[in-house]
């Protein structure tokens, strides 16, 4: 009883109506969870994400970090409201009376549409700029061309600039810091050509050529090319090595494939 009049003696509301300030509690939890979530994500992302090994791969990872950071408050908003309602508005028995009718609150509706609209527009503009930056470069004489053929269930790679006469390599070998473009087709069904570390991914279509943007490998190492379209029984085995090596290793590899560097 002693706490009945915290607000001061001038209050005209009856004491029984004192409800906790739900909205302020929810918003405070939302802000705290969002900030903690964003900080954790930005700190942990470099440890969680696989290594990016090209200019495009690094740009893609940056986009991923920014978009996820923006999505955290949006997701937290929904889940905080849900969790708060489940905990604080729980009733054991069937409710015997109707809830208070909801009245339209134009400010909330306009705010929600406005904020999510601006967020979507930001993602769209970001995407368009990134797409332009990644695809606008034209190949030149220094661009290495790798022809990729997909079939159930293997990849073959050809290096037409080096006159390799073999049936095609079973792995991708790339010299460090040299721009490369992959030109892709399929012998049978739809496959998906993707090298996550290099930030390239494009469909492999039968009877058609598709190409990736020009990409420059920036970190030596061993990566993988995967098929990313469900293409039949052994789809999950359809992956090969991608080796980014120095120029002399690349030259001797080309020679070992029957080509002349």
Please give the residue ranges that form the binding site for Cu ion (CB under 5 A). 191, 227, 231, 238
- Give the burial class of 37: count Cβ atoms within 10 A of its Cβ; 0-12 exposed, 13-18 middle, 19 or more buried: middle
Q: How many CB atoms lie within 10 A of CB 182?
A: 24
Compare residues 174 and 238 and give the one whose CB is closer to Cu ion: 238
Compare residues 151 and 161 and give the one whose CB is closer to Cu ion: 151
User: Is the sign of the CA dihedral 4, 6, 11, 17 positive or negative?
Assistant: negative
Compare residues 180 and 238 and give the one whose CB is closer to Cu ion: 238
DSSP-based three-state secondary structure for 130 = helix
Contact 226, 194 (CB under 8 A): yes
Compare residues 51 and 241 and give the one whose CB is closer to Cu ion: 241
Minimum CB separation of residue 192 from Cu ion in Å reads 7
Minimum CB separation of residue 240 from Cu ion in Å reads 11
Compare residues 56 and 238 and give the one whose CB is closer to Cu ion: 238
Minimum CB separation of residue 149 from Cu ion in Å reads 11
Minimum CB separation of residue 191 from Cu ion in Å reads 3
Compare residues 76 and 238 and give the one whose CB is closer to Cu ion: 238
106: enclosing H helix or E strand: helix 106-135
User: Is the sign of the CA dihedral 57, 119, 74, 43 positive or negative?
Assistant: positive
Minimum CB separation of residue 34 from Cu ion in Å reads 40
Distance of alpha carbon 29 from alpha carbon 31, whole angstroms? 6
Strands 200-204 and 221-227: unpaired
Distance of alpha carbon 38 from alpha carbon 70, whole angstroms? 8
Minimum CB separation of residue 54 from Cu ion in Å reads 22
């Amino acid at each position: 009883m002693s706490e009945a009049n915290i607000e001061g003696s001038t209050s005209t509301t009856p004491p029984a109506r004192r409800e906790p300030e739900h909205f302020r509690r929810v918003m405070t939890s939302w802000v705290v969870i969002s900030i903690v979530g964003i900080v954790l994500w930005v700190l942990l992302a470099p440890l969680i994400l696989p290594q990016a090994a090209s200019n495009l791969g690094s740009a893609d990872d940056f986009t991923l970090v920014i978009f996820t950071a923006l999505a955290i408050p949006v997701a937290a908003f929904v889940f905080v409201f849900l969790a708060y309602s489940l905990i604080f508005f729980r009733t054991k028995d069937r409710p015997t009376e109707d809830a208070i009718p909801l009245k339209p609150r134009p400010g909330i509706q306009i705010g929600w549409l406005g904020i999510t609209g601006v967020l979507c527009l930001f993602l769209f503009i970001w995407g368009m700029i990134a797409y332009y930056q990644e695809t606008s470069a034209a190949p030149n004489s220094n661009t290495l061309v790798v022809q990729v053929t997909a079939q159930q269930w293997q990849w073959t790679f050809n290096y037409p600039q080096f006159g390799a006469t073999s049936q095609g390599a079973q792995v991708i070998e790339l010299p460090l810091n040299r721009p490369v473009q992959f030109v892709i087709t399929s012998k049978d069904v739809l496959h998906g050509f993707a090298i996550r570390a290099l930030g390239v991914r494009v469909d492999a279509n039968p009877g058609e050529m598709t190409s990736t943007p020009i990409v420059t490998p920036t970190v030596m190492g061993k990566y993988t090319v995967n098929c990313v379209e469900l293409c039949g029984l052994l789809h999950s085995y359809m992956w090969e090595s991608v080796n980014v090596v120095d120029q002399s290793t690349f030259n001797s590899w080309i020679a070992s494939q029957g080509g002349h560097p």
